[in-house]
């Protein structure tokens, strides 16, 4: 029976199911997501797709996050039959990020993996046509990396210079005092 409203599977539930067939494939798991071992990820992804309970037939989206010391690949899978959603992460090296391509399993991944390759510079092993998609071939660097386009001295333009947390600041001080008058 499908859930009346999309249920979010916790990372532990997903990890349990994967561990049944691949005990070593799971690195860690928490409430929100499960982290896979990069070396075993392709087999784990196959389990995610073919497992009866996980039923991740629908690849909702995939993207990447630059965590400065590593790059995280983030996958969201959905089951249309059971109406649930879960998140899977695969960490990879920051200097030479390589993960296995899941395009052979989900054909919907091929454009999204090209996008990640173009903007974040992650190489996908086994991808049928890994070329840049948005930028031209000779474009220097990968724009979504955090070190792309930093100013001299490691500073970045814009908001990154703002302090992360300011005590007592709510943002109200940015509101105009008399709206409409420019003051």
Partner 1 sequence: MPIKVEPVEVNIGPQHPSTHGVFRMVAKIDGERIVDVKMVVGYLHRSMEKLAEERTFTQNIPFTDRMDYLAAMSGNLGYCLSVEKLANIEVPERAQYLRVIFGELQRVASHCMATGAFINDCGAWQTPVMWCFRDRERVLDLFEMTCGARLTTNYMRIGGVAFDIPDEFLPALEKLVNDELPKAFEEYEELIVGNEIIMMRARDVGVVTPELAINASLSGPMLRSAGIAWDIRKADPYCVYDRMKFDIPVGYNGDAYDRMTIRIEEMKQSLRIIRQAVGDLPGGAHKTDVPLAIRPPAGEAYSRVESPKGELGFYVVSDGGPAPYRWHVRAPSLINLSVLREMTVGQTIADAIVTLGSIDINVGEVDR
| CB of residue 38 to partner 1, shortest distance in Å | 20
Interacting residue with partner 1 among 138, 170, 178, 183 (CB under 8 A): 170
Pick between residue 10 and residue 83 the one whose CB is nearest to partner 1: 83
> Whose Cβ is closer to partner 1: residue 95's or residue 166's?
166
- Smallest Cα–Cα separation from 47: which of 58, 56, 59? 56
Q: Which of 42, 48, 87, 117 binds partner 1 (CB under 8 A)?
A: 87
User: 3-class SS at 58?
Assistant: strand
Q: Is 23 in the site for partner 1 (CB under 8 A)?
A: no
**Do 84 and 6 form a contact (C-beta atoms < 8 A)?**
yes
Site string for partner 1, 138-167 (x = CB under 8 A): -----xx---x-------xxxxx-x-xx--
According to CB under 8 A, which one of 19, 46, 76, 94 is a site residue for partner 1? 76
Indicate the burial class of 20 (C-beta count within 10 angstroms; 0-12, 13-18, 19 or more).
exposed
Report the alpha-carbon angle 164-170-173, nearest 5. 105
């Amino acid at each position: 029976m499908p859930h009346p409203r999309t249920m979010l599977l916790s990372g532990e539930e997903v990890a349990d199911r994967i561990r049944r067939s691949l005990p070593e494939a799971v690195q860690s798991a928490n409430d929100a997501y499960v982290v896979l071992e990069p070396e075993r990820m392709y087999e784990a992804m196959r389990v995610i797709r073919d497992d009866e309970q996980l039923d991740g037939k629908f690849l909702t989206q995939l993207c990447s996050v630059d965590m400065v010391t590593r790059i995280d690949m983030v996958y969201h899978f959905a089951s249309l039959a059971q109406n649930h959603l879960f998140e899977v992460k695969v960490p990879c090296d920051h200097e030479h990020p390589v993960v296995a391509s899941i395009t052979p399993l989900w054909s919907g991944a091929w454009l999204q993996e090209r996008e990640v390759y173009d903007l974040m510079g992650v190489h996908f092993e086994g991808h049928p046509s890994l070329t840049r998609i948005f930028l031209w071939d000779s474009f220097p660097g990968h724009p979504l990396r955090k070190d792309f386009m930093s100013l001299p001295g490691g500073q970045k333009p814009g908001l990154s210079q703002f302090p992360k947390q300011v005590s007592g600041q709510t943002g109200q001080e940015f509101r105009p005092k008399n709206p409409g008058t420019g003051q």
